Amino acid sequence: MVNQIVCADAGMDCDFVVRSDSDDELVRMARMHGEHRHNVDMDEAGVRELIKPAG
């Protein structure tokens, strides 16, 4: 199953979306995005709460 993380769900004014069939990959990509784009160090548990089914 493909899941996604939508950056706007974290309260950001941002249209970044990452999709993957690996939750670990999703968390890794989303945290990298947050750090590089928003200068926010999101904790892993918080990022995992943003995971939802894609589509």
When binding is defined by CB under 5 A, the residue of 3, 5, 6, 7 that contacts Zn ion is 7
Q: How far is the CB of 16 from Zn ion (least distance, A)?
A: 4
**Residue closer to Zn ion (CB basis): 1 or 32:** 32
The C-alpha atoms of residue 12 and residue 20 are separated, in whole angstroms, by 20
Kindly state whether residue 4 participates in binding Zn ion, applying the rule CB under 5 A.
Answer: no
To 5 degrees, how large is the angle CA 39–CA 36–CA 9?
Answer: 70
Binding site for Zn ion (CB under 5 A): 7, 12, 14, 16, 37
